[in-house]
Amino acid sequence: MTDRIFSDNPRIDRKKLIKQLEQLFQIEKLIFVPEQPKDFTGHSDGMIRFIDNQNVIINDYSKEKTEFNRAFEIAIHNAGLNYEKIPYNVYENSNSIQANGDYINYLQMENIVVVPTYNIKECDKTIKQLEKIFLSKKVVTIDGNEIANDGGILNCISWNIKR
């Protein structure tokens, strides 16, 4: 979850808010990462994805401000997580709402991972990385440009239910 939750709820004590969220989600631990600059949603699903309990995939934010990039990686490190960076290139989009170039918002199902592509140079590298990460799953691609123009990608427009 991003730290935006605290600025969205300024009247609730941080510890109390964390406790309420843990109870609501029925979890033992919440991990907070800094909100990405200029992200209108404040959501973390376009920034980080869990592979398993100890490993995550994160966007390569090397083109973002150093302070944000450092704080993001420190938050993940302090949570005790290992991470692998994948390409992230939203910098040529015509406005800040567009998510074209954000691959981490893929759709993961039981035996398949659907990855958005954007006809940019990072696509091939990203697909190869995700195929190595998800060895036991089939990785397929879909053109994500039209969906991404409205600010979300595959994970944003779907709903997975674990049975």
The label of the residue with tokens 């800040």 reads 96
Distance, CA of 89 to CA of 158 (rounded, Å)? 22
Per-residue confidence of the chain (163 residues) as pLDDT tens digits? 999 999 999 999 999 999 999 999 999 889 999 999 888 888 888 899 999 999 999 999 999 888 999 999 999 999 999 999 999 999 888 888 888 999 999 999 889 999 999 999 999 999 999 999 999 999 999 999 998 988 878 877 787 666 6
Compute the C-alpha angle 94/145/63, nearest 5°: 55
Distance, CA of 142 to CA of 136 (rounded, Å)? 20
Q: In the chain, what is the straight-line distance between the N-terminal and C-terminal CA atoms, in Å?
A: 23
The dotted CATH code for 31-148 is 3.75.10.10
Token digits for 101?
């170039």
pTM (predicted TM-score): 0.88
Domain ranges for the chain: 31-148
